[in-house]
Structure 1
C-alpha cells in the first residue's frame, strides 16, 4: 500500500466504512428480499422486489461513489435488464446531490491558492453533478467560457477505503477451494486501480488532449479541449459545450439513428484497435448530442492505456471472430493468458470457443449479443482452466457499456461488420506518442 493510500486508509476509518457498507447492504437486502417475497406470494406483477429500481438507486446512492459507478454501468443494459430497473438507475448518471456551496468554494479556492485567481466569474451552483465531481460554468480572465470539473471534498478517502474493502473481499474469495486458482488480486489491482485513477485530474486533462488528437479525423465527434494551464489536482478546466441533448433516440429519424450508431462504433473501434487509449465510461451521463446532432464525449476520468500487446491481441481476436475462425480466437486467448491451471484443458477450450464463435458469426446482426458471448467466453475459460490478462476487461467493458445504448438506436446494427474497416488499420502505429504515454514516461 502506498504512503498516500496508507495516510487516507486508517484502520478506524476503514472499520467505520465497513460497518456502514454492511449496515446499508443488510437493511436494503432485507427490504428488497421482503418485497420480492410479498410480490411472489401475491403473484404480483407490479415490478416490485428485485425489480424495484428505485430501491436499487437508493441503495447504491447510500453506499457511495464506487457503487454508484456500478449502477451507472448497469443502467446502460436495457437489452438485458428490465426497464423497471434500468430507468431508475439511469438517474445515477446526473442526479447525485451536490456538496454544500461552502465546501465546493473552499475546495476551488484552495486549488488556486498558489497562483492568481484565473476566473472573471464562477457559478458555484453546479450545472452537472456526478458521484466523483461537480461541474461548474465559469468565465476566465480573458473572456473564455469554460466548464470546471471540481473533485468532491473527501471523495478520495471514501474511494480508497472501498478499494481496501474490495481487496479484502477478493482475498477471501481467493481462499475458497473452487476459486483458489483465480487471479483475483491481479484483477482487482487492474480494474479497481483504473476506477481509483478517476481521482487523478491531471491525468484526465491529459486524456482529453489525447482523445481529441487521436479522434480528430471523426468529423461527427466533439471532445472539449482541456485548458491544461488552468487545471489543478482538484480541478479540470475545459471548453464549455452548450445546448447538450441526452444521448437517446428521441425524435431522430431512422437514417440519423443509424448514422449515430456508426459514429459511436467508429470512435470506440478507433480507440480499441488503433490507439489503445480507451474511454471505458460512455454511459448516458458522458455521451451527448450538440445542437447539430453531432456526438459529444465528456469526462475522460475512466480512460485507460492498453498495453500494445493487449491492443493487438484484442484486435486480432475480434477480426478472427468476425471471420468465424474460432480456433484462431482460442489460440490468441491461450497465448495472451495471464495464467494456465495445472489441469487446464486447452483442446476442450479450442473446441468450445470454435462452437461459440461459429454461433455468433452465424447470427443475424440484430441477434448478436456481446454480453452473452462474453459470458460464454468467460465460463468456457473458467471450466477449461484459463485465466485471461486482466487488461482484457477494459476493452470488453467499453463495448458492453455502449452496446445496450446503441441497440436502442438501431437494433440490427452489425457490430462485427462495422469493426472491419478499423481492424484493417490495427497494426499501423501512431507517429506521435499520446499525452497519456508522455505523462507516464515522465513519472
Structure 2
C-alpha cells in the first residue's frame, strides 16, 4: 500500500512531481485516501508529468499512446511523440558496456565508432559505426543501469494500479492486468534480442509480395553475432525521415506528384500485407520510423513494437472496413461484439444507436473526405462508453492505421484511401475464401465432398432400414412439454375419480332403495361415506390446484 507514511525516496519524488503539477486524483491515490472515479489531467499536463518522472514513465506514456481503446484521441496525440528529456550517456560508460557485452574487444570488431550518439531515447541510444570489413552499422546500446530503474519504477506502478483497482473504473478495465501488461512490455524492450527477432521476422515477411515490389521496401539486416540483450547491431540505412525528404518538400508537379503517389501506394500495400495477410505488423509507423533512402527505397525502422492478428480477427476487421464504407451501423455493432472480450453491453439498443449517430456524420461525404483513422478512434470510443473491452491488438491496429494515414496524407494530401485499398480488398476476400493456395483448398474441399458422398448412401440406407423395421426413435425436445403432460395426467385422474365417485353413489342408492336387512343398510351407508370422502378429496385437490375454471 502506497502512502505518505510508507514511501521510498522514489515514491516521494513521484509525489513531488504530482503535487507540483496539480493532479489531485493521483495525489489521493498516492496518499492512500479514498478516490472517486479516476480523473486524468489535461493531455499536456499528463505528458509533462511523465517526462519529469523519467525514462520508465516516458516509455509507459509511449505504450499508452498505442491504446486508443483506453484513452481519448487528444491523449493519444499528446503521448504519441513523447520523448524523454535525457542527455546521452557519457562515452566512457558506453565503452564499458560494449566491453562487457561483445564477444571481442570493440577495437577488434569496429574499424571506427562515433562517440557522439545519433539518437538518444529513454531506454537506449544509437551510434554510427563501421565494421572491420567496411560495412556500416547502427549500434543500439542500452543505457547502463536502466534495468535497476525499471525494476524500481515497475514496483511503484503496480502499487498504484492496485489502488486504482478499488474504483469502478479499475474494475471495469481490469487495471491490475493492464499494469502487468505494460510492465511486461517495458521488460521486453529491455531485451534487444526480442527486437532483433521482430526485425528479422518483418524482413522475411516483406521479402516477398504479390502487391508490391519487395526490393523497394527495406528492413535493416540484423548482425546476430554482435547482438546481445543489451546491444543491437543493425545494417546502416542512409536516408532521412520521409516527411523531411526533398521529395516531400518539392513543389507539386506532375513528375513529383507521381513519385509521391507511388511511394504512398507502396506504403499502404506493405502495411496491408502485414496486417491482413501476415498477421504480424510494425505497430509504430510514425514519421520518424519511415525513412526515404537515397536510392529511392523506403525503409521501416525501430521494429521493437509489433502487433499480431489471428485469421479470424483479420476477417472481422476486413468486414469492419467495408461496413464503415457502407455506413452500416448494425453490421459495425455485430462485428464489434464478435471482437469483444467482455460480452454484451449493458444496452444493445444504445450501443447500436451510438454507432448510427457516429456514422450518420459521414452520410454526405465522399470517401476521399473520410478520415478512416478518425472513424476507428470513434469506434473505440463507442466501445469504451458502452463498457465493451476489446483486445489489446485492436489498439495497436487502430494506432497503426492512424499513423499510416497521417504520414500518407502529410506526404501526399490528395491520396484517397479507398482507391489505394480497393484493388487489395478483392484479393483479400479471395484469399479468405480460397486460401493462399486455391488448388490445395479445392482438393481439400473435394476430399470432404467425396467423404460425404461415400457416407451418405450408407447412412440413408440405415435410416430406411430403421424406419421399415419400426426401430427408429425421434428425440424431440419441446418447450414446456413436461408441464403439458403432467396437466393431462392430472385431468385424466380427476375424471377417473369422478366416475368412481358417481358409481359409488349410484350403487349405494340402489342398495338403499331395496334394502331388506340391516346388513344391506350398513353396506349402503359405507358406500355413501366412501363416495362422500372421495368427492370431498377431489374438490379440495381442484381448489388447491388453482385451476377451478
CA distance in 1, matches of 2:326, 2:290: 31
Structure 2 equivalent of residue 391 of structure 1: 393
Structure 1: 5+ residue runs without aligned partners? 1-12, 31-49, 432-443
Question: Comparing both chains, which one has the higher relative contact order based on Cα–Cα distances under 8 Å and sequence gaps of 6 or more?
Answer: 1
CA distance in 1, matches of 2:360, 2:87: 47
SS in 2 for 1:149: strand
1:217-366 pair list within 5 angstroms: 217=209, 218-219=212-213, 220-245=216-241, 247-248=243-244, 249-251=248-250, 253=252, 254-340=257-343, 344-357=346-359, 359-360=361-362, 363-365=365-367
Q: 1:221 to 1:388 in 2, by over 3 A?
A: same
Structure 2 equivalent of residue 23 of structure 1: 16
CA distance in 2, matches of 1:272, 1:73: 21
Q: 1:276 to 1:107 in 2, by over 3 A?
A: same
How far apart are residue 384 of structure 1 and its match?
A: 3.1
* Residue among 115, 119, 129 paired with 1:124: 115
Q: Deviations over 1:92-114 (max 9, x none)?
A: 49x75211111111111111157
Bigger Rg over Cα: 2
Q: 1:313 to 1:197 in 2, by over 3 A?
A: farther
SS in 1 for 2:307: strand
CA distance in 2, matches of 1:189, 1:412: 42
Structure 2 equivalent of residue 47 of structure 1: none
CA distance in 2, matches of 1:391, 1:325: 23
RMSD over aligned CA atoms reads 3.8
1:24-423 pair list within 5 angstroms: 24-29=17-22, 60-69=50-59, 70=61, 92=83, 96-113=86-103, 117-177=108-168, 180-216=171-207, 217=209, 218-219=212-213, 220-245=216-241, 247-248=243-244, 249-251=248-250, 253=252, 254-340=257-343, 344-357=346-359, 359-360=361-362, 363-365=365-367, 367-370=369-372, 372-423=374-425
Flag the structure with higher helix content: 2
How far apart are residue 358 of structure 1 and its match?
A: 5.1
Q: Deviations over 1:119-167 (max 9, x none)?
A: 3332232222222211112222333221111111122333444444444
Residues 62 and 82 of structure 2 are in contact (CA less than 8 Å); yes or no, is this contact kept in structure 1? no
Structure 2 equivalent of residue 39 of structure 1: none
CA distance in 2, matches of 1:291, 1:139: 19
CA distance in 2, matches of 1:311, 1:64: 37
Residues 322 and 417 of structure 1 are in contact (CA less than 8 Å); yes or no, is this contact kept in structure 2? no
- TM-score for the superposition, normalised by structure 2: 0.61
Q: 1:307 to 1:23 in 2, by over 3 A?
A: farther
Q: Deviations over 1:51-108 (max 9, x none)?
A: 9x8x98865443223444547997xx9xx879xx98x996949x75211111111111
CA distance in 1, matches of 2:377, 2:198: 30
CA distance in 2, matches of 1:245, 1:378: 30
CA distance in 1, matches of 2:243, 2:328: 35
Q: 1:135 to 1:337 in 2, by over 3 A?
A: same
- TM-score for the superposition, normalised by structure 1: 0.74
How far apart are residue 232 of structure 1 and its match?
A: 1.1
Structure 2: 5+ residue runs without aligned partners? 1-5, 24-41, 438-549
